[in-house]
Amino acid sequence: MRCSCQDGGHLAVCYEQRPYAPQSAYGPSKTANSMFAAEAARRWAGDGITVNAVMPGVVRTN
């Protein structure tokens, strides 16, 4: 399957066409997580479902 860097206005991560670089992938992956959480919260708010997106580097967990 061939992909393009722009697919219908959405960013497509295509590492078939360029080398994988963790530093470059980190930002877009965090943006995608935040966008997913915002959309999930919007869609499921009426069902009483709470959606949270957190940054693991700042949140203290046990």
**Residue 23: burial class (beta carbons within 10 Å; 0-12, 13-18, 19+):** exposed
Is residue 15 annotated as part of the catalytic site, yes or no? no
Catalytic residue of the set 5, 24, 25, 26 = 26
User: Distance of CA 50 to CAs 9, 39, 45, 54, Å?
Assistant: 28, 12, 7, 13
For the annotated catalytic residues, the residue numbers are: 26
